[in-house]
Amino acid sequence: MLVPPEVPKALVVERLPTALAGALAEHNATHHAAERVRVRLAVHAGEVHPDRHGYTSASINLAFRLVDAGQVRDALARSSGVVALVLSSWIHDEVARHSRVVDPRTFRPVDVKVKDTTATAWVGLPDDPYPPVSARTAARGRVVAAVVPAIAALSLWTFTADAPGTRGAEVSGIGA
């Protein structure tokens, strides 16, 4: 889903994951196990460019690589919740860390290596949060690369639904 630049990124980080978790919990409560849904959600911001297939950009590719990371799949598989949220370093540093709604201490840093992408990201579980720790403690012993962001034209998020008991191999898609 592409979000217009006039929509504050804080709304996407602070409201979307918990609203999605609530809607999925409501859905899952009234459906059989085989029909229940769990979601991996990635949030990043950057420039996008229209092409004949829709949109393209390095930012879109990064969001898809983040949502596909094994650490995010594993976090959701171990969680009792229905949403695993992964934030790019830029979104974590510029949005989540300054939020009065999201507790950045409940995110954990991960080193993502998917296809040709290597990045640091932050994983949180909105409906089954990790215990709060300081960002310094979470990142202890790690070198977190600084990112000089371009002015974001659009925020974007991607999600992939996981069938219960899987790591996302059976059901996937993008929100619209």
- How does pLDDT run across 85-144, given as a tens digit for each residue? 999 999 999 999 999 999 999 999 999 999 999 999 999 999 999 999 876 666 653 433
Confirm if 87 and 121 have CB atoms less than 8 A apart.
yes
Model pLDDT for residues 148-170, shown as the tens digit of each residue: 222 233 344 455 565 555 555 43
Q: Which residues pair with 43 in a beta bridge?
A: 87, 157
φ and ψ of 121, to 5 deg? -135, 175
Residue 10 has pLDDT above 80, yes or no: yes
Confirm if 57 and 31 have CB atoms less than 8 A apart.
no
The arithmetic mean of pLDDT across residues 52-59, rounded, is 93
pTM for the whole thing? Answer: 0.77
Q: Domain-by-domain residue ranges, the chain? A: 2-162
Residue 56 has pLDDT above 50, yes or no: yes
